[in-house]
C-alpha cells in the first residue's frame, strides 16, 4: 500500500482571515532537495486591492491605540513566535536548507527584533517630536503621526527575519501594512501569519500576500490608496518601476539595501521615522 502525503496549501492572510486567492492559482514550493514541500496561493491584483482596502479600514483604529497597547501586542507576537520556534526552525531548515544552528539563529533574531520594536512604541514620539522655539506668543509643537497604508516588498532572504525587520517598525507607529512576501521562500512568513492572527493585532493591520512579485509590485506601487512603499526586494528592475509608478500619487518610497539583517544597523529609530509624517501645531500662549 502506497502512503500518499497531503502537502499543506497556504492561503493569503488578508483582513485578519486566511483566504484563498480569487484567481484559484497556486505555486508549488520545493524543499532544499527539490521535492515538493507545500503549495502557496499566487496572489492576484484583486487580492492586492482587497488587502489595501482592509488595511485602509483598519489603520485609523490602530493608530488611535495607546503606545502601551501597541507595544504589548508586538511583545505578544514575540512571545507567540517563541512558543512556535521549534516548528518554524524546522520549516526554515526544510525550505532553505539551513543548519539547525542557522535556523535557530534566525528565529531568535526575529523574536528579539519584535521585542526591540515593542520597546520603541512609547519612546519614538519623544525623540522624533519637539517643541519649536518661535518669536511670537505661541507654543509650536511638532509630533510624528503615521503615514497611513504602507506597502512592503519583503526581501527574498532571510525570509522570516527580513519580514519582521520591515513589518514591525511600520506598524508600531500606527501604520497598516500590505506585504508582498518572499517569492522563493514564503513559507515561514505564512506561518508567522498564524501568529499575527492570534496575537491581538487588529484585523487588517498586517496583510500578507504571496505570489509573483513581477505581477504584484506594479499594482502595489500604483495603488492610489497606498501612501508609502518600503522596497526591500533587492530587484533593481522592480525598484526602478516602483520609483516611477509611485510618482502617480507622490508616494514616499524608501529603498533598503541591507547586507546583513542580523547586524545592529538593520534596526533602529530611522526604520520607524521612514513611515511617519511630522505634524506641526501652533497654540496661543495663555489660551
Q: The CATH number of the domain where 149 resides is what?
A: 3.40.605.10
pLDDT at 174 over 80: yes
Whether residue 198 is contained in a domain is answered as yes
How many structural domains comprise the chain?
1
Whether residue 251 is contained in a domain is answered as yes
| DSSP states along 6-60 | ---EEPEEETTEEE--TT--EEEEE-TTSSEEEEEE---HHHHHHHHHHHHHHHH
Whether residue 257 is contained in a domain is answered as yes
- CB within 8 A of 181, min separation 6: which ones? 154, 159, 163, 189, 190, 208, 209, 210
Percent of the chain with pLDDT over 70: 98
pLDDT higher at 242 or 138: 242
Arithmetic mean of pLDDT, 29-46? 94
How far apart (Å, rounded) are the C-alpha atoms in residues 95 and 185?
Answer: 7
Whether residue 4 is contained in a domain is answered as no
C-alpha cell at 55: 488595511
Arithmetic mean of pLDDT, 241-265? 94
pTM passes above 0.85:
yes
Half-sphere exposure of 167 (CA within 13 A, CB side): 29
- Place 33 in a pLDDT band, splitting at 50, 70 and 90: very high
Whether residue 3 is contained in a domain is answered as no
pLDDT at 287 over 60: no
Place of cell 511583545: 75
pLDDT of residue 202: 97
Whether residue 245 is contained in a domain is answered as yes
Whether residue 221 is contained in a domain is answered as yes
Q: Using N-to-C axis directions, what is the helix angle for 85-96 and 187-196, rounded to 10°?
A: 160
Domain extent at residue 196: 10-284
- Tens of pLDDT, residues 71-107: 999 999 999 999 999 999 999 999 999 999 999 999 9
Whether residue 57 is contained in a domain is answered as yes
How far apart (Å, rounded) are the C-alpha atoms in residues 191 and 172?
Answer: 21
**Do residues 207 and 170 lie in contact, with contact meaning Cβ atoms separated by under 8 Å?**
no
Amino acid at each position: 500500500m502506497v502512503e500518499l502525503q497531503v502537502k499543506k496549501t497556504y492561503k493569503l492572510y488578508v483582513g485578519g482571515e486566511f483566504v484563498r486567492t480569487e484567481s484559484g492559482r497556486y505555486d508549488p514550493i520545493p524543499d532544499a532537495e527539490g521535492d515538493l514541500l507545500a503549495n502557496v496561493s499566487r496572489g492576484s491584483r484583486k487580492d492586492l486591492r482587497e488587502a489595501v482596502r482592509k488595511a485602509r479600514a483598519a489603520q485609523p483604529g490602530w493608530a488611535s491605540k495607546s503606545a502601551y497597547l501597541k507595544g504589548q501586542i508586538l511583545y505578544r507576537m514575540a512571545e507567540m513566535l517563541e512558543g512556535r520556534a521549534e516548528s518554524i526552525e524546522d520549516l526554515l531548515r526544510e525550505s532553505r536548507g539551513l543548519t539547525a544552528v542557522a535556523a535557530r539563529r534566525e528565529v531568535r533574531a526575529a523574536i528579539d527584533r519584535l521585542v526591540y520594536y515593542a520597546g520603541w512604541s512609547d519612546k519614538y514620539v519623544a525623540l522624533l517630536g519637539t517643541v519649536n522655539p518661535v518669536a511670537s506668543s505661541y507654543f509650536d509643537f511638532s509630533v510624528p503621526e503615521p503615514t497611513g497604508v504602507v506597502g512592503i516588498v519583503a526581501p527574498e532572504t532571510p525570509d522570516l527575519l527580513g519580514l519582521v525587520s520591515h513589518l514591525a517598525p511600520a506598524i508600531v507607529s500606527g501604520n497598516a501594512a500590505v506585504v508582498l512576501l518572499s517569492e522563493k521562500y514564503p513559507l515561514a512568513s505564512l506561518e508567522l501569519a498564524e501568529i499575527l492572527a492570534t496575537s491581538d493585532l487588529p484585523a487588517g493591520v498586517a496583510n500578507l500576500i504571496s505570489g509573483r512579485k513581477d505581477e504584484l509590485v506594479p499594482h502595489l506601487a500604483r495603488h492610489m490608496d497606498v501612501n508609502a512603499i518600503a522596497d526591500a526586494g533587492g530587484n533593481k528592475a522592480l525598484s526602478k518601476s516602483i520609483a516611477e509608478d509611485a510618482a502617480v500619487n507622490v508616494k514616499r518610497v524608501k529603498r533598503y539595501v541591507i547586507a546583513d539583517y542580523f547586524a545592529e544597523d538593520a534596526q533602529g529609530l530611522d526604520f520607524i521615522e521612514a513611515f511617519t509624517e511630522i505634524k506641526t501645531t501652533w497654540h496661543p500662549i495663555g489660551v
